[in-house]
Structure 1
Amino acid sequence: MNLYRRILRFAAPHQKYIYASLFFNVLYSLFQIASLGTILPVLGMLFGTIKMEDKLVEPIYDGHISHYFNYLKEYSYYYIQSQVNEKGALTVLAWLCLITGFMFLLRNIFRYLGAYLLIFYRVGVTKDLRSAMYNKILALPVSFFTEQRKGDLMSRMSNDVGEVENNILGSLVDLINSPFMLISTLVTLFYLSPQLTLFSLIVLPIMGTLISLIGKSLKKDSHEAQNELGNIFSIVDETLKSTKIIKIFNADKLLSNRFSGSMTKWINNSVSLGRKKELASPTSEFLGALTFLMITWYGGKEIIVNQSIRPEDFLVFLGIFFQILPPIKSLSSSISNVQKGEGSLVRVMDILDADVKVDEIPNPVPISELKDKITFENVGFYYNQEHLILKNFNLEIKKGQTVALVGQSGSGKTTIANLLTRFYDVSEGSINIDGVNIKNLNLKQYRSILGMVTQESVLFNDTVFNNIAMGKENATREEIIEAAKIANAHNFIESLPEGYDTNIGDDGNKLSGGQKQRVSIARAVLKNPPIMILDEATSALDTESERFVQDALEKMMKNRTSLVIAHRLSTIQKANHIVVMEKGEIVEQGSHHDLMEKNGVYRKLVELQNFE
């Protein structure tokens, strides 16, 4: 139930549309009964119970509330009979048909308005729900995305939110409106014939029980189907990003089999889900047909044998009784839909409830610059204590220094960068900026003093200008051009078809690797942070591109505190301090010259790369 309370919170800002829709749906319900009520006199005239009489006696209301509706009915008959005597039966019949038609017109206008206003409510809530998910994704730490498949996240934001909209939000008004329609219709039926109404309601509990049994299994099948759809999206996402590898390794069949297997599971779950969902409607219709036959028999007995009900009353009773079936079907379908949509709602709430592990303390310390130094004190990091990734890491980086981390893959270099940026939090020890633990700093302000260039250039499907401008809010064109010049990117950008306004495609795939990296560097230059982190920024480049990029990096690092993670050791020989790591620990440190003289791990790494 807590899930539904939470989805109702999203509905709260749009409640005016719900109330307006309910108002018009209530009017629709009332006019639905009224439109059938106006047929009574028409049928009375056709069956001959309303006819011309010379002497008419006006009915008198005796004051009892229980007799009021019967008085209204008798008075309406008296009035119509008097009009028949005065104007003729055909004229009165024509007017009654016009009034009945007008009632049906109003009824359907109110029905349309109720449905129309509901569109604004559903679209508004869906927008807010997707926005909340997107903002939560922006707030979640990097660690969350290492454990989640992107295709599954896409499925949750698109398909699961769509299921919530169609099945839960779409059923909300029906869940409120259908009971009202049921009650108002039942009151009318009891007024027409209490005995016939009680007899007719025998089958309704049976119908409700069968539908609820079907609905219980819908939730399980829906959850499994949506999970499998997430797997399908993940496979498609991986395929789109790996087309070259798939083709070169002839992995088409492997991927096709994986996709087909996932599709088969999804189809089986979807077929099971659809079969059970569709079973609800024919079941209720079959029970409705049985009800009709039973009522016809019982009503015929009351007319022919007991003469306790008039033919026109019985026909209207049938008409109104079968008006009770749509709200019953609507209510049962809504309950089934809500149960079906619950699986998707759970998947949506899993994202909204995901733990933001990297969080701020109350009243964090403000920060706007690096004044003195960065210190790592006995830093340790692990996902579980049996597999340490980093241990007893101690390092001091003074303002203006360039410190390089080197070592084999898996030695913990990138983990240091992730901890310094607070993509993850340390498991042991602390990282301090000017003596203040970074956990106590204002996170947004802290990251504003950091810049980062990674091995894989992260660019967006937008113009060169907008990709660089991401480094600084409200940057001028002159500032962006100056940043591009420092990054050795200005010349090649000018040669593009539309210069800085050229769209670079998805992931910047219209640019070469070196060009993409220089655009990334220009973005970091524009931000102009006091602390710069370079995570193997040149390792994926060819020699010529590396020369341009390395020159750009050296310009950028001037008078700046830099942490450089290097794979190619030729790029860090000018660093003030080099830290050599193995299996999460520091094994050597010093300048390039000092480490070469030690003839230790660093020298072996250099020789392996034919540095000299």
Structure 2
Amino acid sequence: MSIWSSFIQYYKPYRRIFFIDLACASGVALVDIAFPQILYYLTHYVFVRSAAEILPILGWIAAGMFFLYGIRYACQYYITTWGHIMGAHMESDMRQDLFDHYQRLSFSYYDRNNTGEMMSKLVSDLFDISELAHHGPENLFICSLKIIGSFALLLFLNVKMTLILAVVTGLMIVFSIYKNRRMKAVFMDNRKKIAGVNARVQDSLAGIRVVKSFANEDLEREKFCDSNEQFLDSKISSYQIMGTFQAGNGLFQGLLYTAVLVSGGYFVAEGALRGSDLAVYALYIGIFMNPIDVLINFTEQFQRGYSGFKRFLEVIHTTPEILEKPHAMPLGEVKGNIEYKNVSFHYNQNSQVLDDVNISIEAGKTVALVGPSGGGKTTLCSILPRFYDVSGGAVLIDGKDVRDVTLKSLRSAIGIVQQDVYMFAGSIRENIAYGRPEATEAEIMEAAKHANIHDFIISLPEGYDSYVGERGTRLSGGQKQRLAIARVFLKNPSILILDEATSALDNESERYIQASLEKLSKGRTTIVVAHRLSTIRNADEIIVINQNGIQERGNHEELLARNGLYAKYYNMQFEGLDELQPD
């Protein structure tokens, strides 16, 4: 019931359209039911009169029927037009809600889920929702009116024949319920399999440069073929079930007509039913069977829409792991004092990354984190803006626990430059302005100048309007990195995180970037994660961290004089790798 109550919520903004749609559906059903009754009345009370009496009445009959079907036309137009518009609005609302919820979900959700599958839930899973939202209530309402109305009139014509009809219809309903249960499972499997196809396509296309560099097109083709075949098998299963379902219901419809003909002939022979009444009875059988046929055909659409909405709710009902407290306060003016107080962190119960870590950083100071991969350096950076929450202890900014302040104010105070820079498909201007969307043209240019990228931009034919390509494919690594720095300059945060921002660059690009980063760091509290130790010589404090926690801390000269781990890493980088050679 929670699924249906959630679905019904989306009708609320369109209540007026919905109720008019149902009223129009009632009009269509009543007109359809009325025709056999009009025919019954005319054949029994009008057409039995003389020609002189019948002919004058025909004009009134034609006018009445024209008026009746004029009403039906208007009702059908509203149902087809505004009913579908309502369904499209509901689908759009659901898609917007899903996208908004994706924006709220924590990094841990994206760590566990594939982008292609998420895209499938956002796009293809909701395609059938529009039709279900429109045709679901309308079909059920019209069909219920027609079935109940025609059944009541059939009882009025002949009770015994109608009871025989009810028995066959009951068997059809039992058969339909049984098949529906099987269809629900197979259509849900359809959704999962097409999500697998989308995931495979997204993964292959996103990594197309790696695919081609390894000449692995055939491997990718095989992987896609496997996902595609699985989806095909699932579709075949669904069509086999649909085939038996529709053919079986067709058989029951044939049994209904057979029962009507045989029992009708018997009752006519017995004198319990007139031949003209049997003809009217047959018309009502058509009206009785038509909504059943509509419901049978609607079943596939219903199951597709239902399975899509169910997968939609699986995401909507996923609670973000990073939640803002109900009475969280803005961080306010940020000085930049940072404290990691007895911090512990694990991604799951068996993967302890940080254990009782204590670090204090004064406002305006630069602290560098060095050490082997997996020691927790990036994790320390990620828990500061609450991309993940600590498992124990607390992270404080200016004495305030980051869990007690609003996420927007917290993340607005922190600027991040990473090794893997993401560029949005769009212009250079749009990518820089992402740091502060309301920034003026002059401010965007000033940020670019600070990042040493302005001269390059104006050298392009389209300048700041130049298209960067998907993920910035038209730019070099150094150019993308400087645009990312310009983005942070524009944001102007009080706290800066540099997570291996120069490790993937050549020496010339590194010099440009390093100069930009030093300018960016000036006057800000800065945390630097670096493998290239030449970039952190001037840090106020260097912390050496590995899988066993913090091993050393001090400035560059102090750590070299100590001749410990830092000195070892430094010498390995600047004096060769002789000690790593085998004896």
User: TM-score category by the smaller chain?
Assistant: over 0.9
Instruction: State whether structure 2 residue 202 is matched by structure 1 residue 242.
Output: no
Q: Distance in 2 between matches of 1:208 and 1:333?
A: 14
Partner of 1:47: none
TM-score (norm 1): 0.89
**Aligned equivalent of 1:56:** none
Cα deviation for residue 301 of structure 1 reads 2.9
- Whether 1:496 and 2:460 are equivalent positions in the alignment is yes
Q: Which residue of 2 aligns with 1:454?
A: 418
Equivalent pair of 2:336/2:363 in contact (CA under 8 Å):
yes
**2:544–2:553: 8 Å Cα contact kept in structure 1?**
yes
**SS at 2:123's partner residue?**
helix
CA contact (8 A) 1:38 1:100 kept: no
Question: Could you tell me which residue of structure 1 aligns to residue 13 of structure 2?
Answer: 13
Alignment partner of 2:401 out of 437, 446, 469: 437
2:259 is matched with which residue: 294, 306, 312?
294
Q: 1:424 to 1:518 in 2, by over 3 A?
A: same
Aligned pairs (5 A) from 1:521-532 = 521-532=485-496
CA distance in structure 2 between the aligned counterparts of 1:511 and 1:375, rounded to whole angstroms:
38
1:195 aligns with 2:163: no
Distance 2:142 2:56 in 1: 38
Give me the CA root mean square deviation.
Answer: 2.2
Give the distance between the partners of 1:164 and 1:530, measured in 2 at CA.
46
Shift of residue 99, structure 1, vs aligned partner: 4.5
Larger Rg belongs to: 1
Contact 2:26–2:141 under 8 Å retained in 1 = no
Decide whether the 8 Å contact of 2:336 with 2:364 is kept in 1: no
Identify the residue that residue 196 of structure 2 maps to in structure 1.
231
The runs of at least 4 consecutive aligned structure 1 residues that moved more than 6 Å come to: none
Range 108-117 or range 4-13, more displaced:
108-117
**Counterparts in 2 of 1:492 and 1:166: CA distance versus 1, 3 Å:** same
Contact 2:25/2:141, CA 8 A, preserved across alignment: no
Q: Percent identity?
A: 32
The answer to whether the 8 Å contact 1:431/1:437 transfers is: yes
Contact between 2:336 and 2:524, CA under 8 Å: does it hold in 1? no
Larger deviation: 216-225 or 172-181?
172-181
Partner of 1:422: 386
Answer whether contact 1:215 1:277 (CA < 8 A) is retained. no
Match of 1:186 in 2: 151
Match in the other structure for 2:519 = 555
Q: Gapped runs of 5+ residues in structure 2?
A: 577-583
Corresponding position of 1:34: 34
**Does 1:85 pair with 2:49?**
no
Q: 1:283 to 1:532 in 2, by over 3 A?
A: same
Superposed displacement of residue 36, structure 1: 3.0
What is the letter of the counterpart of residue 31 of structure 2?
Answer: F
Q: Which amino acid aligns with 1:387?
A: S
SS in 2 for 1:38: helix
Question: Corresponding residue for 1:533?
Answer: 497
Equivalent position to 2:317, from 353, 358, 370: 353
Give the Cα separation in 1 of the matches to 2:463 and 2:276.
82
Which residue of the other structure, out of 91, 104, 123, is the alignment partner of 1:158? 123
Aligned to 1:219: 184
Match of 1:368, SS? coil
Alpha-carbon contact 1:369-1:530 (below 8 Å) kept: no
Per-residue deviation, 1:106:
3.8
Q: Distance in 2 between matches of 1:16 and 1:372?
A: 54
1:243-290 CA-partner distances (Å, limit 9, x unpaired): 222223232332222222222211111111122124333322221122
1:366 to partner: Cα distance = 2.4
Deviation at 1:352, TM superposition (A): 0.5
Whole-Å Cα distance in 1 between the matches of residues 548 and 191 of structure 2?
A: 40
2:336/2:525 contact within 8 Å kept: no
Question: For residue 248 of structure 1, what is the amino acid of its counterpart?
Answer: S
**Structure 1 residues 298, 206: closer, same or farther in 2, change over 3 A?**
same
Query: Structure 2 length normalisation: TM-score?
Result: 0.94
| Alpha-carbon displacement from aligned partner over 1:188-239 (angstroms, at most 9, x marks no partner) | 2223333332232221011111111111011111222211221211111111
For residue 589 of structure 1, report the CA deviation from its aligned partner: 1.0
Aligned to 1:130: 95
Counterpart residue type for residue 417 of structure 2: V
**In structure 1, what is the Cα distance between the partners aligned to 2:303 and 2:14?**
23
Q: 1:53-92 to 2 correspondence within 5 Å?
A: 77=45, 84-86=51-53, 89=54, 92=57
- Look up the match of 1:606: 570
- Cα distance, 1:362 vs structure 2: 2.5
Q: What letter corresponds to residue 555 of structure 2 in structure 1? A: S
- Change over 3 Å in CA distance of 1:584–1:236 after alignment to 2: farther
1:73-116 deviations in Å (ceiling 9; x for gaps): x6xx25x6668434xx5565566456446544543442332222
Residue in structure 2 matched with residue 408 of structure 1 by the alignment: 372
Q: Which amino acid counterpart does residue 564 of structure 1 have in structure 2?
A: V
Q: CA deviation at 1:494?
A: 0.9
CA drift at 1:433: 1.1
Q: How many residues align?
A: 576
- Name whichever of 106-115 and 156-165 sits farther off: 106-115
Cross-structure match for 2:579: none
- Aligned to 2:420, the other structure's residue is in SS state coil
AA aligned opposite 1:549:
I
Find the aligned partners of 2:219 and 2:517 in 1 and give their Cα distance. 42
CA distance in 2 between partners of 1:461 and 1:296 (Å): 68
Q: CA deviation at 1:449?
A: 0.6
1:168 and 1:338 in contact (8 A); partners too: no
The answer to whether the 8 Å contact 1:219/1:341 transfers is no
Q: Is the 8 A contact 1:389 1:584 kept in 2?
A: no
Task: Supply the distance in 1 between the matched residues of 2:341 and 2:207 (Cα, whole angstroms).
Answer: 41
